[in-house]
């Protein structure tokens, strides 16, 4: 693990300023549970601490990020009711141990018909991480639809995209947003069939045309810029 971190980070040192050092370390359903992976099995529960400490040693100037899914907003249904709080407590404990976590990444793989966040629940979650002294990033935003696709489902997809983007733009606790792919033609949902029965998660359709709500997102971006919102 140390060899991998050192080899990759030294190769790109001073060219890459942000690194997701550890991805998806927190378990889904039980408070305090860690994800069962090769690092937990072979290194032990402190592998996250060790990975961040090594990353800081290799590149003291880089921003180091802990990324996870299912912890995007308070009271989230996806991945069990405890995930958002478990992830928060995990980050809090890392910070208390002086592990050099500079930021958290919240993935936002939302599901039409299952996820029902609102701006307040998202912003409160952002704010409590910010209060720990870490930045918050939306790292992998997409919104998948259960087949068959209908106009009603497309409208809900549009609402969720707009909700997350506008909350991120206007939240003083959020430092940036990245969508997870841009077209359904190459999406992990459609191309790799990651969730059978779900489709059309991206902002652009499989024919590479932007979806009908895309212009409204651009107008929101322009409006936030004119209103003095911070650049993201």
Residues designated catalytic: 24, 140
Instruction: Say if strands 135-146 and 109-111 run parallel, antiparallel, or are unpaired.
Output: parallel
Sequence-distant (≥ 6) Cβ neighbours of residue 165 within 8 angstroms: 141, 177, 217, 220, 221
């Amino acid at each position: 693990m140390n060899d991998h971190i050192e080899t990759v980070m030294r190769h790109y040192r001073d060219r890459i300023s942000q690194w997701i050092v550890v991805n998806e370390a927190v378990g889904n359903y039980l408070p305090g549970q860690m994800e069962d992976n090769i690092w937990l099995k072979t290194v032990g529960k402190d592998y996250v601490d060790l990975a961040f400490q090594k990353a800081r040693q290799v590149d003291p100037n880089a921003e180091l990020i802990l990324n996870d899914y299912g912890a995007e907003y308070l009271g989230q249904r996806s991945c069990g009711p405890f995930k958002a709080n478990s992830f928060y407590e995990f980050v809090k404990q890392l910070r208390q141990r002086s592990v050099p976590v500079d930021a958290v990444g919240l993935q936002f793989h939302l599901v039409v018909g299952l996820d029902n966040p609102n701006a307040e629940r998202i912003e409160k979650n952002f704010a409590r991480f910010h209060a720990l002294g870490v930045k918050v990033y939306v790292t992998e935003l997409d919104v998948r639809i259960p087949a068959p696709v209908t106009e009603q489902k497309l409208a809900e997809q549009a609402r969720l995209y707009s909700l997350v983007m506008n909350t991120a733009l206007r939240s003083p606790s959020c430092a940036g947003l990245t969508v997870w792919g841009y077209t359904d033609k190459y999406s992990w949902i459609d191309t790799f069939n990651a969730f059978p029965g779900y489709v059309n998660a991206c902002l652009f359709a499989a024919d590479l045309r932007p979806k009908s709500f895309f212009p409204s997102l651009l107008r929101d971006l322009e409006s936030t810029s004119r209103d003095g919102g911070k650049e993201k």
